[in-house]
Amino acid sequence: MSQSTIESILQEERLFSPSESFSETAHIKSLEDYQRLAERAKADPEKFWAELAQQELHWFQKWDTVLDWQPPFAKWFVNGKLNISYNCLDRHLTTWRKNKAAIIWEGEPGDSRTITYAQLHREVCQFANTLKQLGVKKGDRVGVYMPMIPEAAIAMLACARIGAPHSVVFGGFSAEALRDRLIDAEAKVVITADGGWRKDAIVALKPQVDKALADGAVPSVENVVVVKRTAQDIHMQPGRDHWWHDLQQDASPDCPAEPMDSEDTLFILYTSGSTGKPKGVVHTTGGYNLYTHITTKWIFDLQDTDVYWCTADVGWITGHSYIVYGPLSNGATTLMYEGAPRKSNPGCFWDVVEKYGVTIFYTAPTAIRAFIKMGDHLPKARDLSSLRLLGTVGEPINPEAWMWYHKVIGGERCPIVDTWWQTETGGVMITPLPGATSTKPGSATFPFPGIIADVVNLDGNPVGENEGGYLVVRHPWPSMLRTVYGNPERFRRTYWEHIPPKDGKYLYFAGDGARKDKDGYFWIMGRVDDVLNVSGHRLGTMEVESALVSHPAVAEAAVVGKPDDIKGEEVVAFITLEGNYEPGDELAKELKQHVVKEIGAIARPGEIRFSEALPKTRSGKIMRRLLRSLAAGEEVSGDTSTLEDKSVLDKLRGEG
Ligand code: WT7
């Protein structure tokens, strides 16, 4: 964020209070209610979480210790036994919700399906039995590489039901990226579809799985289950590949939920860091179930009449926590949409809102900015009066986009919850509670009750009002990541030792910069590490660099983010070539395509800049700060005295 943006943000005086009618029926009705909860939680966090765990979830066996904290390793609800699929399904079947819509699915092109809790339970049980028949046992990892279809949620819940941790890989990732994740997780089975719809076209998924598994690259995978979605020709390898519908047909709908230990792994989800390969973030059962349940209930103010729509993909944490587990644990109706706004159908989101009478809508700032550009006439031509609450997630929202969302989509009547969180946190950490918190456009406002967040310097001391610092969390919370899969040292280093622990006190380091204003509102300023946020998707600069240098033409690559009006950030790659290659548009195109092949379309560089050399310090470190300024077209300011070869800078500016 530029200095001028920061200054204008900190002068934000607009305050939007929840309407009386909203507050009246809300779960949390006033600022006083919120403060009372937050204070109670702070005074005795274990009591606070234990009471909620008792009230909100079904346990097969109660825990004997609420929290076992051996920093930085936490265990929540020790020796408690539960099953999240039971909490998401079985317990609703004994209530009137049995025949309530659990999932409303709007597919492409024009397909749709509504699945009740009873039907969902049946399908999950059948698929759980299918997995068992394929030899999947408690503790075995299952890869899920799916389009946005109900079977994705069914697969996740079936894994949870038998205690097999799932590892969902976003369907937009390449075969190479999929392979790396399957290898790391040592997946035994992969669940996929022949293809999926993406913007009016069918994208092949099964062929990507074939490529990922080719030549025995992932020896752990024994079986592949394929949903028939787009019905194009695909290769089925006898013995390994099975059609979902064939297996489902033979599977019994009777499958009791396995009593899981509270600390048994529920899933692994890979996310990018500033160094190395993506990390397998490990989430466990009890704490994750509780935290996603209660955050969904209070932040989205879920009522039984709501039609709740989160536009994320199940391949990201937002889809895990706020399409599948949080809403279903609450017995809500959750909408899944396979489509995406595109030139041929720019109003499709608003059609979905109108068609189903969506009441709660949760999306990313990048989507909102794209809608602004597409024009107000699109939402204005639809009836959006069913909406009562709006949310955003994934990146800081600029106040202009917030105001547009408030006026054009929310009709000035819907509170907006700007929710800050991460793959690692499992659930939302800093957010308004819509019936309680007065919001300021661009601020995620206050920590959720029980979350002790702060802004500190590198010594771990709080910074002053409006001063920039690092966002940290001071006390463990139920849905925190437990470790990095197979790499506890990396877990310790990345999140808990960046700010050195003092007197046994560990701070969770989020990797974001933040400020607190005079009223205690949190303002998230973006990543402070080499992690980019492109359209709300997290990308490690190093991952993109590794993809680039794996191309024979590339000698060195340095990747930085450049501010972009819609995407937030865009990938810019500075490249030096091997001797026998010439820079040019053709090669730039080829390199962009190479990154798509190695990682996926979300990582495609917007711009490739060829250079004879990269700016380095005398010790050989690439000076990214300079590259960021160059990419943004700004004057290179600050200290350049450590630059080894000053002429490099002129050449990069095109003046050499
Ligand atoms: C990073 C986490 C967790 C949901 C999707 C992203 C950024 C997320 C906000 C927000 C400002 C935000 C942060 C964070 N971020 N939400 N409301 N305001 N920044 O999950 O891929 O793990 O990325 O997204 O930089 O660290 P993720």
Q: What percent of the chain has pLDDT over 70?
A: 99
Alpha carbon distances (Å) from 198 to 170, 339, 396? 13, 7, 26
Mutation probe of ligand 1 site: the residue of 508, 533, 569 with most atoms within 8 A of C-beta: 533
Distance 618 CA to ligand 1 centre (A): 35
Residue 649 has pLDDT above 90, yes or no: no
Q: What distance lies between CA 457 and its chain's CA centroid?
A: 26
Using pLDDT thresholds of 50, 70 and 90, give the confidence band for residue 638: low
- The Cα–Cα gap between 420 and 399 comes to 16
Q: Does 428 contact ligand 1 (Cβ within 6 A)? A: no
Distance 104 CA to ligand 1 centre (A): 26
Q: What distance lies between CA 654 and its chain's CA centroid?
A: 39
Distance 448 CA to ligand 1 centre (A): 15
Closest residue by CA, ligand 1 atom 12: 395
Residue 555 has pLDDT above 60, yes or no: yes
Distance 85 CA to ligand 1 centre (A): 26
Distance 127 CA to ligand 1 centre (A): 33
Place of tokens 């590339």: 554
Q: In this predicted model, what pLDDT tens digit does every residue of 368-391 receive, in sequence order?
A: 999 999 999 999 999 999 999 999
Nearest atom in ligand 1 to 423's CA? 22
Q: What percent of the chain has pLDDT over 90?
A: 90
Average pLDDT over residues 278-306: 98
Which strands, in side-by-side order, build the sheet including 416-419?
A: 112-116, 101-106, 333-337, 307-310, 360-363, 389-393, 416-419
The sign of the dihedral angle between the CA atoms of 641, 643, 647, 649 is: negative
Distance 89 CA to ligand 1 centre (A): 29
Distance 382 CA to ligand 1 centre (A): 30
The answer to whether the beta carbons of residues 298 and 27 sit under 8 Å apart is yes
Position 65 scores a pLDDT of 98
Q: Does 422 contact ligand 1 (Cβ within 6 A)? A: yes
Distance 523 CA to ligand 1 centre (A): 13
The pair of structure tokens assigned to 459 is 């010594």
The answer to whether the beta carbons of residues 288 and 322 sit under 8 Å apart is no
Average pLDDT, the chain: 95
Tell me the residue type at 636: V
Q: Does 419 contact ligand 1 (Cβ within 6 A)? A: yes
Closest residue by CA, ligand 1 atom 27: 422
Closest residue by CA, ligand 1 atom 18: 396
Average pLDDT over residues 579-605: 97
Q: Does 455 contact ligand 1 (Cβ within 6 A)? A: no
Q: In this predicted model, what pLDDT tens digit does every residue of 166-177 receive, in sequence order?
A: 999 999 999 999
Residue 29 has pLDDT above 80, yes or no: yes
Position 656 scores a pLDDT of 43
Those residues with Cβ within 8 angstroms of residue 353's Cβ, 6 or more apart along the chain or in another chain: 309, 361, 382, 384, 386, 387
Q: Does 524 contact ligand 1 (Cβ within 6 A)? A: yes
Nearest atom in ligand 1 to 424's CA? 22
Residue 437 has pLDDT above 60, yes or no: yes
Average pLDDT over residues 570-576: 97
Q: Does 278 contact ligand 1 (Cβ within 6 A)? A: no
Position 199 scores a pLDDT of 86
Q: Does 260 contact ligand 1 (Cβ within 6 A)? A: no
Distance 234 CA to ligand 1 centre (A): 37
Average pLDDT over residues 241-258: 97
